[in-house]
Amino acid sequence: MIWLFCGWQAARHEYLQLREEQAFKLCLKHLRQCNYDAFAALQKHKGGLQLEDELLAQLHNLLVLQGDDKATERVLRRAGEDGLFEEYVLNSSYKPVWSRVVPEQTDCQRPGMRGGHQMCIDPEEGKIYLIGGWDGEKDLSDFWVFEIATSSWRLLSEDTAQDGGPGPRSCHKVR
């Protein structure tokens, strides 16, 4: 019985220490984001405690503070090449598999070439929706659905603006 009690106390002590460390790290992150000199001073006198991961600090600096997308991509690419994401990928239950989808009917109606469009999937219904985009000359306002089970496209609206929806658009977001 004493052993269980001591084990519980040790676990509680470890939990409280971890909680304090995490709170400390969040406070330091806030100080750094606000450009307070306190962060730099605490970083120098940290006493062996790693305040934050160096890669995360570098990414925060490049992406949030400098807005340097290209440098951020280079850092992430290097991290991937160094195997930083291997454990996460190997332990992920989702494993994407890409395959070309060719509609069964060759004469069926389907969306034309475009860029800047948005797509989203409804996995429960087995449908992929596509809206808008840019065809090289103008923004588009068409709305399509791809039926995964039948590998076929269907035009839901030729002009969403005429049907009471959004007007022509590209490089937009879908939620």
| Across 128-155, average pLDDT | 92
Q: Is residue 125 part of a domain?
A: yes
Please give the average per-residue pLDDT across 54-63, as a whole number.
82
pLDDT value for 126: 92
Are 7 and 67 within one domain?
yes
In this prediction, residue 87 carries a pLDDT of 85
Last residue in a domain, options 57, 91, 125: 91
Instruction: Give the model confidence (pLDDT) of 90-112 as tens digits.
Output: 888 877 788 777 766 666 788 99
Specify the pTM: 0.45
**Could you tell me if 22 and 73 lie in one domain?**
yes
Q: What pLDDT does 173 receive?
A: 82
Average pLDDT, the chain: 81
167 lies in the same domain as 137:
yes
Q: What is the pLDDT of residue 128?
A: 93
Average pLDDT over residues 75-101: 82
Q: How far apart are CA 119 and CA 167, in angstroms?
A: 16
For residue 171 the two structure tokens come to 């490089």
* Cβ burial, residue 122 (10 Å; 0-12/13-18/19+): exposed
Checking if the pLDDT of 125 tops 50, the result is yes
Q: Are residues 128 and 52 in the same domain?
A: no
Instruction: Say how far apart CA 128 and CA 120 lie, in whole Å.
Output: 6
Average pLDDT of the segment spanning 151-171: 92
- As a whole number, mean pLDDT of residues 159-173 equals 90
Task: Count the domains in the chain.
Answer: 2
Judgement on whether residues 86 and 123 belong to the same structural domain of the protein = no
**C-alpha angle 132/127/97, rounded to 5°?**
100
**Structure-model confidence comparison of residues 154 and 48, the more confident one:** 154
pLDDT in tens, 112-122: 999 999 999 99
Enclosing domain of residue 123: 103-175
